[in-house]
Amino acid sequence: MELGIKDKVAIVCASSQGLGKATAMGLAKEGAKVVIFARHKKDLDETAHEIASATDSEILPIIADVIKAEDIQKVVKTTIEKFGTVHILVNNAGGPPVANFAELSDDMWMNGVNLTMMSLIRMTREVLPHMLKNKWGRIVNITSLTAKQPINDLIISSTLRPGILGLAKILSNQYSKFGILVNNVCPGHYLTKRQEEIIKKRSAERNITAEEYIQQHSNEIPIGRFGKPEELANMIVFLCSEKASYVTG
């Protein structure tokens, strides 16, 4: 299927590993020019090389932290200087800590707000003027199943992510008439580094091995296994495409 995003310019946040990396790879395979950014140069360079080797697309790696407003501005400014515009934004960030309510300090809460909520708000605010000029844009937010179903030890995530759904709905209402579509994906259980950290903590609490935890939890998943990052990426790439021209909000 021709998705109509060849030569579109895409920014994928926190994209040196996991769901972000898989999404950047998926967009590049469809011919998009992809900007990837993350905090650690080694991981970022390796990911850029891997994607460039597997595709014919231009990849622009930038060292930046989604939690820093000035870094977000730098990413968008560098993207415009290199490619002239931006058509696609995939908002993504690492998750807040696994903890009980009593363990969470004010600093942990504020870090969660900046990481989960403000990074998305700032990135979206920076790219919207360019999408308005194009009269075309796709914004996809990678959230979490906690946006729909709160989880006891993912308290910060369960508190903040439903707000992202509300914001995305408002943005979709306001900007769809300009050709800018805004959607969320709420991934369940995918085997990423973040998921491995959660598994490690929960299995230790239950005094079982990580492998035992995965097996027990897989039995509760309708499809019977954890997902692969590229399986989510395939859906995100579709939502970023011309073929998703009537999907928003």
Q: What is the pLDDT of residues 73-91, one digit of tens each?
A: 999 999 999 999 999 999 9
DSSP one-letter code for 154:
B
pTM over 0.85: yes
DSSP bridge pairs for 138 = 88, 181
Sort residue 118 into left (φ over 0), alpha (ψ -120 to 50) or beta.
alpha
Tokens in use for 149?
């179903």
Q: How far is CA 24 from CA 31, 55, 110, in A?
A: 11, 11, 28
Report how far residue 29's alpha carbon sits from residue 33's, in angstroms, rounded to the nearest whole number.
Answer: 10
Report how far residue 26's alpha carbon sits from residue 240's, in angstroms, rounded to the nearest whole number.
Answer: 11
Whole-number pLDDT of residue 40: 95
Cα 185 from chain centroid?
Answer: 9
pLDDT bin (cut points 50, 70, 90) of residue 95 is: confident
pLDDT digits (tens, 9 = 90+) for 113-166: 999 999 999 999 999 999 999 999 999 999 999 999 999 989 999 999 999 999
pLDDT digits (tens, 9 = 90+) for 21-77: 999 999 999 999 999 999 999 999 999 999 999 999 999 999 999 999 999 999 999
Helices (H), the chain: 18-29, 41-54, 69-83, 106-112, 119-134, 155-175, 193-206, 210-218, 229-239
Whole-number pLDDT of residue 70: 98
> Are 141 and 162 spatial neighbours (Cβ–Cβ below 8 Å)?
no
210-218 vs 193-206: helix axis angle to the nearest 10? 100
> What's the whole-number mean pLDDT along residues 97-106?
92
Pairing of strands 137-142, 88-91: parallel
